[in-house]
Amino acid sequence: MSRHAGQSGFSLIEILVSAVIIGVVGTSAFYFLSSQNSMGSKGGDMMKGVNAGKLKMDSLKVVSYDGLASGSDTVSEKFVRSWAVSVVYDDLGKPIGQKTIEVAVRWPLTGEQSVYFTSVKTDDKYKDRENVP
């Protein structure tokens, strides 16, 4: 077949090449957008986990010194919080009126991710003394 002088258009090869190029560009764009969505979801989970840990740490800091105890709970069926409370001792093995609070927040359903918080609570009866026994 030969083209006549007034005919114009695309050949089958040109159409196939353009379809392949459009397919490659479309696939790349889809991959980029899906990875962005995944990273956004992970970032959202991280912020929710940090917030859950901060809320627990804030609630433990207002509990009386003698009322502090270790424990754990589940937040919104996604996050598992656990906290450990331990007494701080000096070199001679005597308590110095402080407790260490460690809070861990994990979300095992979306991969093993976690955040950790640590703080120290001082017994009120030691606050006014300059030298702790």
Per-residue pLDDT of the chain (133 residues; tens, 9 = 90+): 555 555 677 788 888 999 999 999 988 888 887 777 767 777 788 888 889 999 999 999 899 988 999 999 998 878 899 999 999 999 999 988 899 999 999 988 766 788 899 999 988 776 655 544 5
pTM of the model: 0.64
- Contact criterion met (CB below 8 Å) for 122 and 97: yes
Decide: 100 and 88 in contact? Cβ < 8 Å. yes
Q: How far is CA 119 from CA 22, 43, 53, in A?
A: 56, 25, 12
Task: Say what the pLDDT of residue 17 is.
Answer: 92
Q: Give the pLDDT score at 132.
A: 47
Query: What does the radius of gyration of the chain's CA atoms come to, in whole angstroms?
Result: 31
Report the length, in residues, of the chain: 133
Burial class (CB in 10 A: 0-12, 13-18, 19+), 48: middle
Tokens of 31: 């991959």
Q: What tokens does 6 get? A: 């007034």
